[in-house]
Amino acid sequence: MSTAKAKPRLSPRSGCQGVAGQRGPGPAAERGDVVSFPPIAHYGVRVGLPYRHAGRSWNLSKSKPPVARWPLSCDRFALGVLRGETPGRPMPDPVGRIRPVTLGRQLRRPELPTVGARWCEAVLPAGSVYRFLARERARLFPPELFADLFQATGRRSVPPSILAVVMVLQRLEGLSDREAADRFAFDVRWRYAAGVADAVAGEESASFAHTVLVDLRARLRRSADPDRIFRVTTDLARAAGLVGVRRVLDSAPLEDAVATQDTVTLVRGAIRGLLRACPPPLAAKVRGLLRRDDDDSAPGKPACDWQDRAAREQLVDALVGDGYRAHFALRDQRLDGRVAEAAALLATVTGQDIEETCDGRFQIFDGTAPDRVISTVDPEARHGHKTAAHGFDGDKGHVAVDPDSEVITAAEVSPAATGDAAVAATLLGEVIADNQHGRQAARAVVYGDSAYGTGTNLAWLEQHRLTPMVKTQVPAGPGGRFAKDQFRVDLKAGMVTCPARVMVAVTPARRGGGRARFGVACSVCPLRQACTSSARGRVVTIGPQEATLAAARARQRDPAWQADYRATRPKVERKLAHLLRRRHGGRRARVRGGLVRVAQDWKLLAAATNLARFAALGLRSTTSGWRVQPA
């Protein structure tokens, strides 16, 4: 009698390897046990694709997937499905922790046919980003780049080099996560760029659920280097000599992905958010002090006769009163982070648009509060103005561009109400670091429009030895009257002379600068109608950075300065057009949930745009480093 072990029984439809991609026999394999599973389509594996295991292939029906009988020996994917796991998503264990996921590595299969890859190489143009990623993918996104996101043991992930390519192409084409997962599964260009144009379906390179992209972004966001993909592109640009000493700064509106809410919706939403964040005993205490009979589980506006002004005023007064009562319930409580954040949001929205009348009622005041919160869904979104006539709601995306190579060297996101000059220090951080360490022989030059031409920003640029090619706003007179630059200001003597040759001393201010008041001299001046309409006479304000602004205005009158500015400054507008050419993920933010998420997505878009630029320039790696080799 033979003592050889009986081989496990294999079914023609068994052995499907999912996104996890792990192989390994289990105890049940030695017994040859067979177990039936629900249809494969329920577990994120695409139906209708050919699958292969142990040299045997089959096809799953598109119309009605069969119930597959898989031996437990096929791989650990089957064991994961038996436990209810979805391929590509980490499965919480019974106590709520996330199971560890180990770094997946891309398989090398030299025995596979190369029809798809050869077809892409034949038809794609030389400057295509697909060809560039296919050629340089392993150098751009090695496994070591993402090693800190995974643990040493656990289920194998989809290779992050593949996901990095998918995320780049997703941002270039303005796709959602579901659309990107579908494009990777069925578009040979995407698969060619990821190095799996001819991979066997059923491996981790065949397809994956769209939640895999969500998981990788979350891992990046929690890591110490969340913007590593963008950093790879900027480091590559410096290594290839594509970055010089000139920078052009600009910004663009990013419309928020949430709806702008009115005051009633804000206050009610903040109360509902506080009740959701509080633990049940505290939530019961807060709810017990509220006087409005409101179903806090229903979103939207409360019931009200909105055509009746008295009813609207009564609703506002009752809502704001409930907001204050909810805060009163928290006065002696130790709050955790989530509850404290919800309480702070409620305090903000109940105070920003509300005023108290003399009879003790609360009402909405006329006007808009500065730095107003516009949504409880995204509390960091703000009202913004690109120009005096163009307003928007959301955030603002900022970039610094090298005008010679048109490579984005820095990117940042700020609330919409933030001035452009306030973000200049962040955008120029790498240039300042090079200056401090003596890595730049030439003095860096910074270009920008009048939003960066404030006195404070110009003084900061001079302090850090940066040459400002920044346009400074020329003073304008109210109603077409004499502007400030028609007065002669002598800062050393502290005197101001008006067009009628009346000289007045400057009264110093505590924070620098001062004011020159002409007073009674204007009452008998023949030029009064062309100068001021004030009964107290003309007042000229001298700012703390008046000398810096005066020097900048004198520089920009030079024809050579104007020619350099006009030849260089518009290049950043073209780069912003590349970034914002698609509304989904361009002009309108693709994600919501605060500045951190929007900034991560904006920098990923900047990285994708840089990679497309590298492909157009003909950048390629050689034995001696990165070189530009135009076609």
What's the confidence (pLDDT) of residue 609? Answer: 95
What's the confidence (pLDDT) of residue 205? Answer: 63
Q: Do 287 and 402 belong together in one domain?
A: no
Q: Do 312 and 344 belong together in one domain?
A: yes
- Strands 50-53, 56-59: pairing is antiparallel
Write the pLDDT tens digit of every residue in 50-70: 333 333 334 433 444 433 333
Q: What burial class does residue 34 get, using C-beta atoms within 10 Å of its C-beta: 0-12 exposed, 13-18 middle, 19+ buried?
A: middle
> Does the pLDDT of residue 387 top 80, yes or no?
no
What's the confidence (pLDDT) of residue 31? Answer: 36
Residue 322, token pair as written in the block: 């409930």
Mean pLDDT of 613-622: 93
DSSP, res 483: -
What gap in Å lies between CA 349 and CA 261, rounded to an integer?
A: 11
At residue 441 the predicted structure's pLDDT band, cuts being 50, 70 and 90, is: low
Nearest to 616 by CA among 121, 120, 132: 132
**Contact in structure between 383 and 417 (CB atoms under 8 Å):** yes
- Strands 407-415, 467-470: pairing is unpaired
Could you list the residue range(s) of the whole structural domain that residue 138 is in?
A: 115-226
b/e per residue, 318-340, with b = 16+ CB within 10 A? Answer: bbbbbbebbbebbeebeeeeebe
Of 523, 545, 567, the one marking the end of a domain is 545
Mean pLDDT of 195-224: 82
Of 545, 566, 585, the one marking the end of a domain is 545
> Does the pLDDT of residue 239 top 70, yes or no?
yes
**Contact in structure between 19 and 184 (CB atoms under 8 Å):** no
Q: Do 504 and 581 belong together in one domain?
A: no
Task: From residue 457, give the alpha-carbon distance in Å to each of 252, 451, 468, 533, 568.
Answer: 19, 10, 9, 33, 20
What gap in Å lies between CA 87 and CA 104, rounded to an integer?
A: 13
Q: Do 451 and 588 belong together in one domain?
A: yes
What's the confidence (pLDDT) of residue 585? Answer: 64
**Contact in structure between 496 and 543 (CB atoms under 8 Å):** no
Write the pLDDT tens digit of every residue in 557-614: 999 999 999 999 999 999 999 898 876 667 888 888 789 999 999 999 999 999 999 9
**Contact in structure between 368 and 391 (CB atoms under 8 Å):** no
Domain contains 154: yes
> Does the pLDDT of residue 18 top 50, yes or no?
no
Nearest to 400 by CA among 199, 245, 207, 221: 245
First to last CA, the chain: 71
Nearest to 262 by CA among 308, 302, 296: 302
Domain contains 382: no
What gap in Å lies between CA 288 and CA 527, rounded to an integer?
A: 69
More confident residue, 36 or 177: 177
DSSP, res 365: P
Mean pLDDT of 39-48: 35
Domain contains 96: no
| Three-point CA angle 442, 445, 447, nearest 5° | 165
Domain contains 135: yes
Q: What burial class does residue 107 get, using C-beta atoms within 10 Å of its C-beta: 0-12 exposed, 13-18 middle, 19+ buried?
A: middle
What gap in Å lies between CA 107 and CA 467, rounded to an integer?
A: 51
HEC readout, 355-412: EECCCCCEEECCCCCCCCCCCCCCCCCEEEECCCCCEEEEEEEEEEEECCCCEEEEEE
What gap in Å lies between CA 594 and CA 57, rounded to an integer?
A: 47
**Contact in structure between 518 and 537 (CB atoms under 8 Å):** yes
Q: Do 421 and 447 belong together in one domain?
A: yes
More confident residue, 480 or 140: 140
Mean pLDDT of 198-206: 61
Domain contains 250: no
DSSP notation for 491-551: TTTTEEE-TT--EEE-EE-TTS-EEEE-GGGGTT-TTHHHH---TT--EEEE-TTHHHHHH
What's the confidence (pLDDT) of residue 631? Answer: 59
> Does the pLDDT of residue 615 top 80, yes or no?
yes
What gap in Å lies between CA 304 and CA 192, rounded to an integer?
A: 58
> Does the pLDDT of residue 429 top 50, yes or no?
yes
Nearest to 110 by CA among 24, 206, 200: 200
Q: Do 562 and 530 belong together in one domain?
A: no
**Contact in structure between 618 and 127 (CB atoms under 8 Å):** yes
Quickly count: other Cβ atoms within 10 Å of residue 161's Cβ.
22
Q: Among 17-21, 112-116, 484-488, which stretch is predicted with the lowest mean pLDDT? A: 17-21
What's the confidence (pLDDT) of residue 109? Answer: 59
Q: Do 134 and 73 belong together in one domain?
A: no
Instruction: Specify the amino acid at residue 574.
Output: R
Q: Do 129 and 206 belong together in one domain?
A: yes
Write the pLDDT tens digit of every residue in 312-321: 989 999 999 9
Q: Do 562 and 448 belong together in one domain?
A: yes
What gap in Å lies between CA 213 and CA 160, rounded to an integer?
A: 10
What's the confidence (pLDDT) of residue 576? Answer: 92
Token pair 């009202």 in the structure block, residue = 383
Q: Do 513 and 468 belong together in one domain?
A: no
More confident residue, 25 or 431: 431
Compute the residue count for the chain: 631
What's the confidence (pLDDT) of residue 24? Answer: 38
Domain contains 377: no
Write the pLDDT tens digit of every residue in 460-511: 999 999 999 999 988 888 788 899 889 999 988 999 999 999 999 999 988 8
What average pLDDT is seen over the chain?
81
pTM comes to 0.78
Three-class SS of residue 120?
Answer: helix
Of 43, 70, 87, the one marking the end of a domain is 87
Write the pLDDT tens digit of every residue in 69-89: 333 333 333 334 333 444 444
Q: Do 199 and 311 belong together in one domain?
A: no
Task: Give how many domains the chain has, as a whole number.
Answer: 5
Q: Do 155 and 57 belong together in one domain?
A: no
Q: Strand pairing partners for 434?
A: none
DSSP, res 260: -
Nearest to 204 by CA among 226, 223, 177, 185: 185
**Contact in structure between 50 and 40 (CB atoms under 8 Å):** no
DSSP notation for 150-215: SBSSSEEPPPHHHHHHHHHHHHHHT--HHHHHHHHHH-HHHHHHTT-TTPPBTBTTT---THHHHH
Domain contains 442: yes
Domain contains 492: yes
Q: What burial class does residue 1 get, using C-beta atoms within 10 Å of its C-beta: 0-12 exposed, 13-18 middle, 19+ buried?
A: exposed
Write the pLDDT tens digit of every residue in 398-420: 999 999 999 999 999 999 989 99
**Contact in structure between 435 and 428 (CB atoms under 8 Å):** no
* Type and span of the H or E element at 110: none
